[in-house]
Amino acid sequence: GGQAYNNEGAQITRLTGGLVTLDWDSYNQVDLLNDGNIDEIEIDDASMQEGGCYVLLVKAATGALASITFTADVPANLKWFQGAAPTDITQVTNSLAVFTFIKSGGFVLASYWYAT
């Protein structure tokens, strides 16, 4: 099982492995502090408003290679502007990965960049 985040605050510290489900009912931005143990991030696209823009900030708690799979409720709904989702997020302590998701036409259009 995983943990869904929507009402316990937009700042999340995840120090155990497994699945994180981002439920966007309450927040348009989620700050996720990751120590490298997250395996999968599922975007709950059913909780996203059409035309809405959502931001995920992933900050490294420790230097780690975070191998993360991104999915959606319906996997085909998640489209990446860069053509493919990142899988290995190379992190140094306090590095930041910024993911932007836009719900459009029933699809979730995703992009990402790294602030070093």
Average pLDDT of the residues of the chain: 77
More confident residue, 89 or 19: 19
How confident is the model at residue 2, as a pLDDT?
Answer: 39
103: left (phi over 0), alpha (psi -120 to 50) or beta: beta
Percent of the chain topping pLDDT 90? 18
Extract the tokens encoding 109.
């259009």
Give bridge partners of residue 99 from the DSSP assignment: 56, 112
Extract the tokens encoding 102.
């836009």
**Amino acid present at 34:** N
pTM of this prediction?
0.79
* pLDDT tens digits, 46-96: 889 999 999 888 887 766 566 778 888 888 899 998 777 777 676 666 778
